[in-house]
Amino acid sequence: ALTGSMWRMSARSAARRLVSALPEGRGLDAVMWRRRHCVIVSILWCNVAGLALFGIARGYGVEHSVLEAATLAGFGVVATQPRGGRRLRSAVAAAGLMAASAVLVHLWSGAIEAHFSFFVMVALLSVYQDWVPFLVALAFVVLHHGTVGVLHPSAVYDHSDAAEHPWIWALIHGV
């Protein structure tokens, strides 16, 4: 049997092995980060305009569609600010792109095809080469799908099993 101190040493060793097994992104220099961030924020701003138009085309009306787009614009404004540091600005941009995907899913009545936007955005966020925006995106997907799935299932899911078990499907989508 392991004693308390032996167990702690074993747990620390296992934790070190786990951390060393994780992929190790190389930090981007300031110029490269700025270029990539500019592209990501530009895509976020394109989503602001595009989703407003998409909402109008889907029959949600100008007021509803512009309000949805305005929430995304808030992320764009914060991500564009020079203050806050790279990680915070990357995290805000990540949350904005995930929110854009959530708005698309909502405007498309939970269609499975709309969920692919989340995959595209997560892949796009990998250009930051940083765990923070990736983890923000992952947390957003799980919390959004679970919470909205409980409160308003048809805004997230278009099939009955997901509507009946939103947290299970939220975890599936997160994985």
* Model confidence pLDDT, tens digit, residues 120-131: 999 999 999 999
Q: Is the pLDDT of residue 150 over 60?
A: yes
User: Sorting pLDDT into bands at 50, 70 and 90, what band is 1?
Assistant: low
Of all residues in the chain, the percent with pLDDT exceeding 70 is: 90
* Model confidence pLDDT, tens digit, residues 52-61: 999 999 999 9
Q: Is the pLDDT of residue 51 over 90?
A: yes
Contacts for 49 with CB less than 8 Å, ≥ 6 apart: 69
Q: Which parts of the chain fold into alpha helices (H)?
A: 4-21, 30-57, 62-80, 85-107, 112-125, 131-151, 160-164, 166-174
Q: Is the pLDDT of residue 3 over 70?
A: no
CB atoms under 10 Å from CB of 112, counted, come to 12
Q: Which residues of 32-58 are buried (b: 16+ CB within 10 A; e: fewer)?
A: ebeebbeebbebbbebbeebbebbbee
User: Sorting pLDDT into bands at 50, 70 and 90, what band is 13?
Assistant: confident
pTM: 0.80
